[in-house]
Amino acid sequence: MAGTEKSATAPAGATVKQKIIGTFELFFLFGRGIKPFEKEGTKAHALRSIWLPVAATPLAFYSAYLHPAQGLEKEPYSTVASVLAGHMLLTFIIGTGLGYLFCWAFDRRERFWLWFHTANWMTVPNAVIAIPVVALAAFGHHEREVMDRALSVVLYYGVIVNACVAFRAFKVDWTLAGFFACMSIYVAQQIWNLMFWLNDVPIRWWG
């Protein structure tokens, strides 16, 4: 009887389908997309979601092979791969630390794993949206400058999405969520500069 009562009152977790739908809702800035992740806002669920960015890693390397980032167009692929690997690793580690620091500073530590879990799942819509743009850029349907501008639009829309995720996961106001998203992209850019420097690649400060 006790076991039956416990199972009846235990909260049901979200299905994979619900979480995928939730990520696309968040990608298009619908706040209800956070609800499936609120059902699983624990450390255990968050750590299990690390497989998503790991699974997307080969796609990132293949995309870099087809269409290297600005400043790496004339570099050998070994250099491109080295820069990308370092950037992905450091961005994940430092970005996670930045998220925890933000939670600590604004007394939201109990919501850190919810944010971490959701951020990992956002790999799904990010990949789906980026693939066709990278494909167009890689196969020369448009000039590189045009496609770089398109990729920049995708990148900066991602900042808005990150702000939406932070707003819903941390339950802070929009100004703080926007600040967190801007800090995240700033840190990511400085990591690019660091990896360029470590690999003796000239840093393009503008243009």
142-173 pLDDT, tens per residue?
A: 677 777 788 888 888 999 999 999 999 999 99
Non-local CB neighbours of 207 within 8 Å, separated by 6+ positions:
none
Does 7 score more than 60 pLDDT?
no
Q: Determine what percent of the chain is predicted with pLDDT higher than 70.
A: 90
CA-CA distance, 102 to 165, in Å (whole number)?
14
Query: Is the CB of residue 31 less than 8 Å from the CB of residue 164?
Result: yes
CA-CA distance, 164 to 144, in Å (whole number)?
30
Q: What average pLDDT does this structure show over 32-53?
A: 93
Query: Is the CB of residue 62 less than 8 Å from the CB of residue 34?
Result: no
What pLDDT shows up at residue 6? 41
Q: What average pLDDT does this structure show over 131-146?
A: 74
